[in-house]
């Protein structure tokens, strides 16, 4: 049967040979509503190199794409930029099939690959800044520790002005187009921001340093080839600029209200807070955790100046969906946030204090004591919510005139 899975040309020397995962909707807790891709690339140099591999179930697709341009047995080198299983899941099975002369990874990559695959394969560690000749071109490796794993690295193929950026500058987006200019720019912005917020945000302080280092190289960047989503060939300035902003967690006059509700009492409070925020000129995002996923909250927080969280008290605790989203957000370490808590209760009413404690653990500056309402908020309670929103909104308006 004819092989229908073809490689896609990026340059005469570099071809995409990855896999498209149209159906994935959960990526270790991050909802991927547009699916994803696992990108692998072939460098058709004198010594043919395979740059990264794909998630294990997609190995046949990758092998078919490789076979559409070369005999897989001609691949001499495999590079593993990152040991996470979406890229290394098929690495050693692929190596067993094509028998490359060498597999390269960073020092930490070699260690991590051994920890994940338990001694499988014979990996050679490359040092930061090390160059490996492919005959008529050269790969230069640079460690990007904690972006987003300790083993992460990138590589530069100067002859093609192409950066293999691994997870950085990527996005979870399954698409038929392989290049950024083949995709709606609004989708690129949304999915790259969502990816950054859910994957890279904890390490945002390292982004600026990495961009500075890339800038200091004097590279004439024409392509950024990440391990997820499209290859950047026209929008490089835009994604680099976005990473610069997201790296410093640049905020706006936006407030995110994240809440759960049982009998719509906490929801009524949220709506009143929203009115107060809007009256002060804040942009309001309203996320009921029954209708929205935690990764949407992470996306909204990325450029928000305020986080206001609400929950009813259920069995002396915050509602489980609020525990979920606040635990998730805390792990992402958002910075530069002000906030407040609110919630309804029937008897004990611990939820507001518990949320405030969580917000403090997240280093959110609490603008005002939380608002509680017994059973169903009455007019004074709704007024207190409005005033809370107004107070937060005024702080945002002053910070972001």
Q: Which residues bind ligand FEO (CB under 6 A)?
A: 82, 84, 86-87, 148, 167, 227-228
d(CA 32, CA 25): 5
Residue 167 catalytic?
yes
At closest approach, how far in Å is the CB of 82 from ligand FEO? 6
At closest approach, how far in Å is the CB of 49 from ligand FEO? 19
Q: Are 342 and 308 in contact (CB under 8 A)?
A: yes
Element (H, E) at 276: helix 265-279
At closest approach, how far in Å is the CB of 36 from ligand FEO? 8
Tokens of 307: 């986080």
For β-strands 26-27 and 19-21, DSSP reports them as unpaired
Residue 28 catalytic?
yes
Residue 228 or 254 having the CB closest to ligand FEO = 228
Residue 148 catalytic?
yes
At closest approach, how far in Å is the CB of 167 from ligand FEO? 4
Residue 82 or 271 having the CB closest to ligand FEO = 82
Q: Are 75 and 41 in contact (CB under 8 A)?
A: no
At closest approach, how far in Å is the CB of 88 from ligand FEO? 9
CA torsion 143-146-151-157 (nearest 10°) is -30
Residue 172 catalytic?
no
Residue 16 or 342 having the CB closest to ligand FEO = 16
At closest approach, how far in Å is the CB of 217 from ligand FEO? 23
Of 21, 52, 86, 191, the catalytic one is 86
Residue 87 or 233 having the CB closest to ligand FEO = 87
Considering only CA atoms, which of 224, 217, 8 is closest in space to residue 131?
217
Sheet holding 138-143, edge to edge: 131-133, 138-143, 153-157, 162-166, 223-226
Residue 167 or 267 having the CB closest to ligand FEO = 167
Of 52, 76, 84, 267, the catalytic one is 84
Of 151, 228, 259, 386, the catalytic one is 228
Please provide the distance, in angstroms rounded to a whole number, between the alpha carbons at the two ends of the chain.
64
CA angle 84, 14, 98 (to 5 degrees): 60
Residue 85 or 262 having the CB closest to ligand FEO = 85
Of 38, 41, 195, 243, the catalytic one is 195
Q: Which residue is nearest to ligand FEO (CB)?
A: 84
d(CA 140, CA 157): 7
DSSP 206-273: HHHHHHHHHHHTT----EEEESSSPBBSS-HHHHHHHHHHHHTT---SEEEEEE--SSSHHHHHHHHH
Residue 195 catalytic?
yes
Active-site residue list: 28, 82, 84, 86, 148, 167, 195, 228
């Amino acid at each position: 049967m004819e092989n229908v899975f073809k490689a896609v040309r990026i340059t005469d020397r570099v071809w995409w040979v990855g896999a498209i995962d149209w159906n994935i909707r959960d990526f270790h807790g991050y909802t991927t509503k547009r699916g994803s891709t696992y990108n692998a690339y072939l460098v058709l140099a004198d010594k043919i190199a395979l740059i990264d591999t794909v998630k294990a179930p997609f190995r046949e697709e990758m092998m078919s794409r490789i076979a559409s341009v070369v005999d897989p047995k001609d691949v001499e080198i495999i590079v593993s930029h990152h040991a996470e299983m979406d890229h290394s899941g098929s690495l050693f099975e692929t190596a067993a099939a094509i028998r490359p002369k060498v597999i390269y990874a960073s020092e930490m990559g070699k260690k991590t690959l051994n920890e994940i695959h338990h001694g499988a394969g014979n990996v050679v560690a490359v040092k930061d800044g090390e160059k490996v000749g492919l005959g008529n071109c050269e790969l230069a490796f640079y460690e990007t520790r904690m972006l987003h794993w300790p083993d992460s690295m990138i590589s530069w193929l100067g002859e093609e002005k192409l950066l293999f950026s691994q997870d950085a500058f990527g996005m979870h987006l399954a698409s038929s187009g392989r290049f950024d200019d083949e995709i709606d720019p609004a989708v690129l912005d949304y999915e790259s921001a969502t990816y950054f917020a859910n994957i890279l945000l904890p390490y945002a302080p390292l982004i600026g340093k990495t961009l500075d280092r890339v800038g200091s190289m004097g590279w004439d960047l024409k392509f950024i080839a990440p391990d997820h989503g499209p290859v950047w060939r026209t929008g490089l300035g835009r994604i680099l600029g976005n990473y610069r902003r997201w790296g410093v967690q640049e905020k706006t006059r936006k407030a995110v209200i994240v809440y759960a509700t049982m009998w719509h009492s906490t929801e009524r409070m949220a709506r009143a807070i929203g009115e107060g925020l809007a009256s002060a000129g804040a942009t309001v995002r309203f996320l009921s955790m029954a209708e929205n996923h935690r990764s949407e909250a992470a996306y909204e927080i990325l450029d928000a100046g305020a986080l206001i969280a609400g929950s009813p008290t259920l069995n002396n605790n915050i509602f489980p969906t609020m525990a979920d989203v606040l635990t998730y957000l805390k792990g992402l370490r958002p910075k530069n946030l002000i906030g407040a808590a609110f919630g309804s209760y029937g008897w004990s009413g611990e939820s507001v204090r518990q949320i405030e404690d969580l917000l403090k653990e997240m280093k959110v500056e609490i603008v005002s004591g939380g608002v509680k309402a017994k059973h169903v908020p009455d007019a004074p309670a709704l007024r207190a919510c409005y005033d809370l929103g107004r107070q937060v909104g005024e702080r945002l308006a002053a910070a972001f005139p």
